[in-house]
Amino acid sequence: MSTVRQALTALGRETAGRSMMDLAAELYPIPRSLTGDGVRETLDRIARRIPLQVHELPTGTPVLDWTVPREWNPREAWIRDPSGRRVVDFADHNLHLVGYSAPVHRRLPLNELRPHLHSLPEQPGLIPYRTSYYEETWGFCLPHRLLESLPDGEYEVFIDASLEDGSMTWGECLLPGSSAEEVLVSAHVCHPQLANDNLSGIAVAVHLAEALAAVPDRRYSYRFLFAPGGIGAIAWLARNRDRLDSFRHGLIAANLGDGGAFHYKRSRRGDHEIDRAVAAALAGLGEDLVTEDFFPFGYDERQYCSPGFDLPVGVLTRTPWGRYPEYHTSADDLSFIGAEALAGSLAAYLATAAALEEGPGASESPPAVAEGGRKSAGGRRYRNLEPFGEPQLGRRGLYGGLGGAGRKEFEIAMLWVLNQSDGEHSLDDIAERSGLPFERISEAAEALREAGLLGRKGEPE
Ligand code: ZN
């Protein structure tokens, strides 16, 4: 029996559950975003519990195909109605302000203000979560019911925020084991006032680190990464590229506090030891587990599992993102998550670590060529020419500008083509695996080819 398994047996679920709820409640009001003081304060509080190394990377630093963005720090933001009453105020809820809103102070009629207001007609009592990281704008989010009740007249909007050169911040906690081989647990820290996505992931990761730190004679080294989603993982990969040969297993922690069943999204290859370890761990705990194949969007698996890196990273959640009505709204609050669910999630992660400690580990054979998907006999095959992380499609005019009902499907088709174009999978294979029409996959490949992101197999780069 590994010492990690002993720690699992000894886990006091009630105390751990309460402690995770306390941490979630402590972090809940902090206005986090991709960058800025909210992330720093969050990391400061995590550092009171586990050893944390904080990294700052300056604005403008190139990372893979991307650049570290400007730093955003909101201070005050509100809308006054024609009678002078503050009808929307960032001080009441962080979600009221669109993330990365530029500063503004204006008076304007309702019809001009309207395009800057976001609501959810289907869920009229809730505030949506919106950001605009890569396109400069400003905006507010509010319950649809409130939006509908706004009288005509002149409004005053005020956003005091800085959007300027600074840095992007992330934190890492490394627990060295007897081997330098690493297990990565990654949680995104860019979401403001939202509990399940992703204070639950942060709380479970912090408590897993605490539990593992207390275990003597661990075989693996464990690295906990608390970084903004997308660009944070891209930056981490860019900075750690030369030491990825010690990377053995990875899990992305999110949506771990709701009462739903566990879901595991397999790594890109789908047959890594981590994929087996999660299934064995959950079975050992007697927990139901829904297992799903990899798809190239979601959380930071889209970066870790880009074809150039193709790291063994899976996503272990309870109800996945987008599949609960509270997702990305003000209803994802502290009442939506619970101590018992969090404690069960912590046990699932600890059991997975125990399974890895007891598994074959280093003796795992390297991937056979063209594993992880069937090879077709025919059909065009391409190579992703920017295979490390996701290429920035927006900068190349490939994201958002197309409009129409097919746009979302087209964007997803591009992600599939980029992820699977390693010279082995044909467009037929990609259409089959993605479940998208061949025509859409073919269109996406053509657009990516025109943008210089895709080459025919065998062509010079
Ligand atoms: Zn989210």
Which of the four pLDDT bands, split at 50, 70 and 90, describes residue 369?
Answer: very low
Average pLDDT, the chain: 94
Residue 400 CA to ligand 1 center (angstroms) comes to 19
Are 346 and 277 in a shared domain?
yes
Cα(298) to centroid(ligand 1), Å: 9
Task: Quote the pLDDT of residue 367.
Answer: 47
Is 131 or 458 the better-scoring residue by pLDDT? 131
**Alpha-carbon distance 116 to 362, whole Å?**
53
The mean pLDDT value for 394-415 works out to: 80
Q: Identify the residue with better confidence: 359 or 152.
A: 152
Residues 108, 95 share a domain: yes
Looking at the structure, tell me whether residues 427 and 392 fall in a common domain: yes
Per-residue confidence (pLDDT) for residue 73, from 0 to 100: 98
Counting every residue written for the chain, the total comes to 461
Q: Which CATH number do you get for residue 279?
A: 3.40.630.10
Cα-to-centroid distance, 451 and ligand 1 (Å) = 29
Q: Compute the average pLDDT of residues 232-256.
A: 97
- Overall average pLDDT of the 15-42 stretch: 98
**68-77, 194-203, 306-315, 450-459, range with the lowest pLDDT:** 450-459
Distance 105 CA to ligand 1 centre (A): 29
pLDDT at residue number 135: 87
Q: Please give the average per-residue pLDDT across 233-246, as a whole number.
A: 97
**How far, in Å, is the centroid of ligand 1 from the Cα of 324?**
12
Query: Are residues 311 and 439 both part of a single domain?
Result: no
Closest CA to 226 of 443, 38, 412, 376: 38
Distance 328 CA to ligand 1 centre (A): 6
277-314 residues labelled b (16+ CB within 10 A) or e (exposed)? bbbbbbeebeeebeeeebbbebbbbbbbbbbebbbbbb
136, 164, 192 - which closes a domain? 164
Q: Percent of the chain at pLDDT above 90?
A: 89
Tell me the backbone φ, ψ of residue 125, rounded to 5 degrees.
-95, -5
234 and 151 in a common domain? no
Same domain for 139 and 28: no
- Look at residue 367 and tell me if it is in a domain: no
Residue 406 has pLDDT above 80, yes or no: no
Distance (angstroms) between ligand 1 centre and the Cα of 389 equals 19
**Tokens matching residue 147:** 């939006």
Section 387-400 average pLDDT: 90
CA dist 58 and 164 (Å) reads 11
Nearest CA to 406 among 375, 382, 441? 441
Residue 254 inside a domain? The answer is: yes
Q: Is the same domain home to 179 and 147?
A: no
Residue 402 has pLDDT above 60, yes or no: no
Q: 19: pLDDT confidence band, cut at 50, 70 and 90?
A: very high
pLDDT at 226: 98
What spacing in Å lies between the alpha carbon of 229 and ligand 1's midpoint?
9
In terms of domains, do 298 and 241 share one? yes
Q: Are residues 225 and 308 in the same domain?
A: yes
Q: Comparing 67-71, 134-138, 259-263, 346-350, which segment has the lowest mean pLDDT?
A: 134-138
Residue 192 and residue 274 in one domain: yes
Range of the domain at 313: 3-68+168-358
| Full-model pTM | 0.94
Handedness of CA 333, 336, 339, 345 (dihedral sign): negative
Instruction: Give residue-wise pLDDT tens across range 123-132.
Output: 999 999 999 9
Q: For residues 457 and 377, which has the higher predicted lDDT (pLDDT)?
A: 457
Residues 155, 246 share a domain: no
Phi, psi of 380 (to 5 degrees): -70, 140
Position 368 scores a pLDDT of 44
Q: Would you give the DSSP letter of residue 377?
A: S
Q: Is residue 229 part of a domain?
A: yes
- Position 251 pLDDT exceeds 50: yes
Residues 230, 349, single domain; the answer is: yes
Residue 370, CB-side half-sphere exposure with 13 Å CA sphere: 10
Mean pLDDT over 138-160 rounds to 98
Q: What is the CATH number of the domain that holds 82?
A: 3.50.30.90
Q: Measured in angstroms, how far is the CA atom of residue 335 from the centroid of ligand 1?
A: 18
- Indicate the pLDDT class of residue 456, thresholds 50, 70 and 90: confident
Give pLDDT, residue 360: 79
Confidence of residue 372 (pLDDT cuts 50, 70, 90): very low
Residue type for position 443: E
